[in-house]
Structure 1
Amino acid sequence: MANTTQYTNPLIVQRADPFIYKHTDGYYYFTASVPAYNLIEIRRARTLEGLAHAAPRTIWRKHESGPMSQLIWAPEIHYIDGKWFIYFAAAETTAFDKNGMFQHRMFCIECDAEDPMVSEDDWIERGQVETGMDSFSLDATCFEANDKLYYVWAQKDPEIKGNSNLYIAEMSNPWTLKTKPVMLTKPEYEWETRGFWVNEGPAVIHRNGRFFLTYSSSATDENYCMGMLTVDENADLLDAANWHKSDEPVFQSDLAEHQFGPGHNSFTIAEDGQTDILVYHCRDYTDIKGDPLYDPNRHTKVQSFTWNEDGTPNFGKPVPYNYE
């Protein structure tokens, strides 16, 4: 029977770049960017709704100086070969580089405790995930396919117009790339280049004999929206020609319901173990003072989605806010 749960939305306020993972212990684990961009926290609950009231546990704090001292962005928690890993982006300074970009690089921390809700001392730093390109990079995720571990992320290529493209590589371990980066997509459509030329925030779901890779595009205001790449599960995932890009957004602002800039999504499964859940952040207004990145009101939302007859996901529209 399909899940008919109506979740509170927003589920968690002032948490951008949300990531929810349902573990084999029955808990949902949640992490996201905090408004101060200064630490990484985890919260957990037996239900998605329970995450709204779960107490967060800080498991890592930014350094006083150095490459992991500023703008801690977009953590993701993964469980790989019996250990917990969190990927995140961090910078040494809030200043822009010569390309007018932030100076983020990607990092990994690890915990081998059964329960990741432990003290900060139980998480060890694995350092920077090196891609072979020394430039702005962020929003790493990983997924397994055919007994191989793949890493997907966003990065700036100074030779390509725009802010970030999406890349994939196979990994030799959860913090080391085994192969050279392969570019899967760059901003090219009008809906990917509003305000900024951006492809970022990748997320992967495996269904119906294919891998679907969603990503976010354009400026982080009402123009923010989601695109999608599709590849056959048996294809060579490191051959960009095997990935097919949707020419229209698959999820975008709904002006009638005042839902603006949905994106930076992740995927999880509902309590019934069957219904797929889209996790994303969104705002309910467009009058943003200053840089949208420093506006704290990108809230975490969750909603179920369905599948089309051709086996592709149908995300629908962002659900309206329903809390009092």
Structure 2
Amino acid sequence: MLKGALALGAAAAVPTAGLAHADEQAGRAVGNPLVRQRADPHIHGHTDGRYYFTATAPEYDRIILRRSRTLAGLSAAEEAVVWRRHTGGDMAAHIWAPEIHHINGVWYVYFAAAPADDVWKIRMWVLENRNADPFRGTWTERGRIVTAWDTFSLDATTFTHRGARYLAWAQHEPTTDSNTGVFLSRMSSPWTLTGPQVRLTTPEYDWERIGFKVNEGPSVIRRNGRICMTYSASATDANYCLGLLTAADNVDLLAPGAWAKSPAPVFTSNDTTGQYGPGHNSFTVAEDGRTDVLVYHARQYKEITGDPLHDPNRHTRIQRLGWKPDGTPDFGVPVADGPVCPLGKGRA
């Protein structure tokens, strides 16, 4: 397997005038949708007591940030654009699925982008900001994450396990009939892969192959002696859903057989609550410091005219994440629009 390497990109300055420091409403009830027309949501709960939010904008042309001391406050928090697509070259189209991470005191955003003249040549890219405040300073383009194959790749997420940093992502594997599977590799830096790149899952069940044969959007939560990795499957319409991989917390995550795959989806559309296509999730913890929270997007209707990717109404939503007696997550069903069960009283 190839080791990752990145060419350095140009620097992009972030304007500081008019940036929001958040809607600080500690007592406000959380309601869904949390943020409208923001798909693939990622919320990072930081040590400064704030939640940092980013997601895909339906124009696919920029990377946005919000922050608040409460999850509810993200709904009305002013939104800052920290990076825009290029007018040409490799980062000019399909700006998708950003995630914000704080690694060794430095802020990073992982995202996908494509050339203006080949909009499906999507690859993964990294921005870096060394300022303590990600709404200030300079976001530097660290370049592309290089994988073993130069193929369609997106949805990078990173986490640590037993002292090592990993990247999980979705990619098309040559010689297969699937659009994407989910892969895992160790990292030697926040933008460089090292060692073997292992496929964790590929679309094999019928529910993963509706419309498109897709496994994508991995997200990780560690609880109860397990590492749990969700991923999204099928087309981005009402068939979109979450699958689940689990591994023991004490194993080599790159070893064959380390991960067990659920044979059924764990989070799906629900006619009763009126939520369709729930997927591309992330995890955070409520203001009480204990309650696990599922963050995801869904639409409020099933029928879509044209390409689902051109329909802007994938809204960010949140709800409590439960746990089963065997230590695996209990996702329940996508909750209906309106108030959500209290998730905490807010941070000081």
What TM-score range do you get, normalising by the shorter chain? over 0.9
Deviation at 1:6, TM superposition (A): 5.8
Deviation at 1:167, TM superposition (A): 0.2
What do the CA deviations read for 1:129-163 (whole angstroms, capped 9, x no partner)? 00121000000000001110000000001211111
Deviation at 1:12, TM superposition (A): 0.4
1:50 counterpart SS class:
helix
| Matches for 1:215-226 after TM superposition, within 5 Å | 215-226=231-242
| Matches for 1:49-64 after TM superposition, within 5 Å | 49-64=72-87
What is aligned with 1:112? 130
| Matches for 1:148-297 after TM superposition, within 5 Å | 148-297=164-313
What is aligned with 2:317? 301
What is aligned with 1:34? 57
Structure 1 residue runs without a partner (length 5+):
97-101
Equivalent residues of 1:192, 1:217 under 8 A apart: yes
1:287 counterpart SS class:
coil
What is aligned with 1:89? 112
Percent of aligned pairs with the same amino acid: 53
RMSD: 1.2
- State the distance in 2 between where 1:14 and 1:153 align: 23
The amino acid across from 1:254 in the alignment is: N
Deviation at 1:93, TM superposition (A): 3.4
- State the distance in 2 between where 1:44 and 1:110 align: 18
The amino acid across from 2:290 in the alignment is: Q
Equivalent residues of 1:184, 1:240 under 8 A apart: no
- State the distance in 2 between where 1:41 and 1:266 align: 16
Deviation at 1:94, TM superposition (A): 6.6
Aligned partner of 1:15 among 38, 46, 71: 38
The amino acid across from 1:228 in the alignment is: L
Q: Please state if 1:72 is matched with 2:90.
A: no
- State the distance in 2 between where 1:6 and 1:195 align: 37
Equivalent residues of 2:42, 2:295 under 8 A apart: yes
Per the normalisation by structure 1, the TM-score is: 0.94
- State the distance in 2 between where 1:168 and 1:205 align: 15
- State the distance in 1 between where 2:229 and 2:256 align: 13
Deviation at 1:103, TM superposition (A): 1.3
Deviation at 1:180, TM superposition (A): 2.5
Deviation at 1:7, TM superposition (A): 2.2
What do the CA deviations read for 1:43-91 (whole angstroms, capped 9, x no partner)? 0000000000100111111111011010100000000011000000000
What is aligned with 1:99? none
The amino acid across from 1:56 in the alignment is: E
- State the distance in 1 between where 2:172 and 2:256 align: 17
- State the distance in 1 between where 2:58 and 2:265 align: 27
Deviation at 1:178, TM superposition (A): 1.1
Equivalent residues of 2:159, 2:166 under 8 A apart: yes
Equivalent residues of 2:65, 2:81 under 8 A apart: yes
- State the distance in 1 between where 2:86 and 2:258 align: 41
- State the distance in 2 between where 1:57 and 1:80 align: 21
- State the distance in 1 between where 2:140 and 2:256 align: 34
What do the CA deviations read for 1:95-144 (whole angstroms, capped 9, x no partner)? 56xxxxx210000000111010125xx11010000012100000000000
Deviation at 1:233, TM superposition (A): 0.9
1:257 counterpart SS class:
coil
Structure 2 residue runs without a partner (length 5+):
1-27, 340-348
Aligned length: 312
What is aligned with 2:68? 45
Per the normalisation by structure 2, the TM-score is: 0.88
Runs of 4+ in 1 over 6 A off after TM superposition: none
Equivalent residues of 2:62, 2:83 under 8 A apart: yes
What do the CA deviations read for 1:260-301 (whole angstroms, capped 9, x no partner)? 000000000001000000000000112211110111000000
